[in-house]
Amino acid sequence: MKDRIRKDDLKEKVMSAESAAMLIKDGMIVATSGFTPSGYPKAVPLALEKRVNEGEAIGITVLCGASVGDELDGALTRCGVMKRRYPYQTNNDLRNAINESQVSYQDMHLSHVTQFIDYGFFGKIDVALVEALAITEEGGIIPTTSIGLMPQAIKNSDMVIVEINMSQPMELEGMHDIYMTEKPPYRKAIPIEQTGDRVGTHYIPCPPEKIAAIVFTDIPDKVRPLGPIDEPSKLISGHIIDFLKYEVRKGRLPKNLLPLQSGVGSVANAVLGGLVNSDFKDLTCYTEVIQDSMLDLIDAGKVTIASGTALTPSIEGLKRLHENMKHYAKHCILRPMEISNNPEVIRRLGIISMNTAIEVDIYGHVNSTNIMGSRMMNGIGGSGDFTRNAYLSIFTTVSTAKNGEISSIVPKASHIDHTEHDVSVVVTEQGLADLRGTSPRERARKIIQNCAHPDYRDMLMDYLERAEKTKFKYQPHLLDEALSWHDRFLKTGSMKVD
């Protein structure tokens, strides 16, 4: 315990998860650590669930960095404690509850969350519930595998509950770089000018009197398994690498590219994976989540620095990470999401963003969140923060879904998270469309010809050509048909016409 709680008088705050959970009351706003299932509190949420299952009626608002594990999102949803949730999630039970409107959800840009907390836009944060590696001599909190919104949660609440997770290796200490911005009009320039710049402290400052409870736990992060890299993902990765090489030849990118950001999921993992066997070297990554393929890139000597706000390897990746923590620590920096997702830093560094879309329309508008316009999948996450401020913004998607019954290239996106103004490049397993400098009609032809699945290409061209015969030819649409593909899928199970 000595190296975990380094300030002696805080030891009297140690208690059971059950006692700590009693501090959380009906109606409270609770901001937690955690970002993609890593570094999130586990014991106290489970204790809260128990209380409710024993008959208490509690409803709370939960703010996390991004998605968190089932012990938090799943458990609190199933027992009905979760009434409102911001800003991103990937849990099946929570997703269903959101789509049945049992949980109020607002899908937000991650870069907005921490400043909304600071600005008081959510109201007063009642409790900061955070997982920690250790508490320093001054009461500073050392995070575990993610940082997320922890600094702002701690700063803006009067009560901090700390879960010290003994399953997290002490070698994580030193990997974090905590820098916080002031509120306007006092905000200064963030002094990061290179991916690897360290500008802050190793811990999150916290007045010790705020710490109301310390709970010990050893529940490991419930990391998600990564599927094997499939053929479409490999093709997508290949198209992107060819494109990046071309940009280097044209003098529009330096030889070692610019800092890479890569989304979450299997395609994103495959894209980075493809770089292992490429000729690129001295790469850096300025991203949210450090996944397995990043470890591969570090091992292969391709990536010198990876900056993120969460370490989220698979189970095998976690083993590898723990065994070589010292090695990886030299190449990884964890930052608050306020910094990893900050428009200022992203724009300055000139990031190449690569995110996955649910669907893309012929004019380059991207849907990342709502299936058939209405059903929340996960959320926008940081994709908008990166896309909007990138040097080059790339979106990937497999050209069809649901065994080919859905075309991921559609006449009009059923929901729009990233507009035509923000998307530079679209890639599917079919090919790549470079949209820079194109008018909508030029864009449409590139996307249909290079990216759409052959089964849908003629249908899309037919839509476009008929739309072009109407009066307004800038971004031509047939309004009574624009969403008919989605409508047909909902009614018949296929976007195809018999």
21, 29, 260, 264: which one contacts ligand COA (CB under 6 A)? Answer: 264
The distance of Cα 350 from the centroid of its chain, to the nearest Å, equals: 19
The whole-angstrom separation of Cα 381 and Cα 65 is 9
| Touching ligand COA, residues 384-423 (CB under 6 A) | 386, 401-402, 406, 408
Q: Tell me how many residues contact its own copies (CB under 8 A).
A: 90
The distance of Cα 309 from the centroid of its chain, to the nearest Å, equals: 9
38, 181, 355, 399: which one contacts ligand COA (CB under 6 A)? Answer: 355
340, 422, 428, 495: which one contacts its own copies (CB under 8 A)? Answer: 422
330, 347, 402, 466: which one contacts its own copies (CB under 8 A)? Answer: 347
Residue 378 touches which of its own copies, ligand COA, none (CB < 5 to 8 A by kind)?
ligand COA
476 touches its own copies (CB under 8 A) = yes
496 touches its own copies (CB under 8 A) = no
Q: Residue 178 has what DSSP assignment?
A: B
Q: Contact at 8 Å (CB) between 385 and 291?
A: no
Nearer to its own copies, 42 or 477 (CB): 477
Of the candidates 4, 1, 7, which has an alpha carbon nearest to the alpha carbon of residue 138? 7
338 touches ligand COA (CB under 6 A) = no
Tokens 């198209």 map to which residue?
239
Q: Contact at 8 Å (CB) between 44 and 16?
A: no
The whole-angstrom separation of Cα 63 and Cα 177 is 22
Structure tokens at 483: 């969403």
249, 326, 421, 469: which one contacts its own copies (CB under 8 A)? Answer: 421
Instruction: Name the one range near ligand COA by CB under 6 A: 38-46, 55-63, 370-378, 423-431.
Output: 370-378
Residue 263 touches which of its own copies, ligand COA, none (CB < 5 to 8 A by kind)?
ligand COA
CB of 309 to ligand COA, least distance (A): 10
Nearer to its own copies, 205 or 440 (CB): 440
**Burial of 7 per CB tally in 10 Å (0-12, 13-18, 19+):** middle
Beta-strand relationship, 375-376 and 370-371: antiparallel
| Touching its own copies, residues 436-455 (CB under 8 A) | 436-442
229 touches ligand COA (CB under 6 A) = no
The values of phi and psi at residue 141, to 5°, are -100, 125
**Total count of residues recorded for the chain:** 498
Question: Annotated active-site positions, please?
Answer: 288
The values of phi and psi at residue 262, to 5°, are -135, 135
CB of 406 to ligand COA, least distance (A): 5
315 touches ligand COA (CB under 6 A) = no
| Touching its own copies, residues 66-85 (CB under 8 A) | 84
> E strands of 211-361, at which residues?
211-217, 260-262, 283-286, 289-290, 303-308, 310-311, 332-334, 352-356, 359-361
98 touches its own copies (CB under 8 A) = yes
Burial 242-263 (b: 16+ CB within 10 A, else e): ebbeebbeeeebeeebbbbbbb
Nearer to its own copies, 120 or 207 (CB): 120
CB of 288 to ligand COA, least distance (A): 4
Structure tokens at 290: 């450090």
Residue 359 touches which of ligand COA, its own copies, none (CB < 5 to 8 A by kind)?
ligand COA
Nearer to ligand COA, 157 or 340 (CB): 340
Q: Give 12-50 as a 3 state SS string.
A: HHECCHHHHHCCCCCCCEEEECCCCCCCCCCHHHHHHHH
Instruction: Name the one range near ligand COA by CB under 6 A: 78-86, 237-245, 309-317, 356-364.
Output: 356-364
Q: Write each residue from 354 to 393 as x if it is in contact with its own copies (CB under 8 A), else as -, in one continuous string.
A: -----------x----xxxxxxx---x---x---xx-x--
Strand partners, 178: 201
Q: Contact at 8 Å (CB) between 164 and 132?
A: yes
Instruction: Name the one range near ligand COA by CB under 6 A: 136-144, 200-208, 214-222, 379-387.
Output: 379-387
Residue 422 touches which of ligand COA, its own copies, none (CB < 5 to 8 A by kind)?
its own copies
Cα distances from 455 to residues 350, 459, 482, 494, 496, in angstroms, run 37, 8, 18, 12, 9
Give the binding site for ligand COA (CB under 6 A).
263-267, 288, 355-359, 368, 371, 377-378, 380-383, 386, 401-402, 406, 408
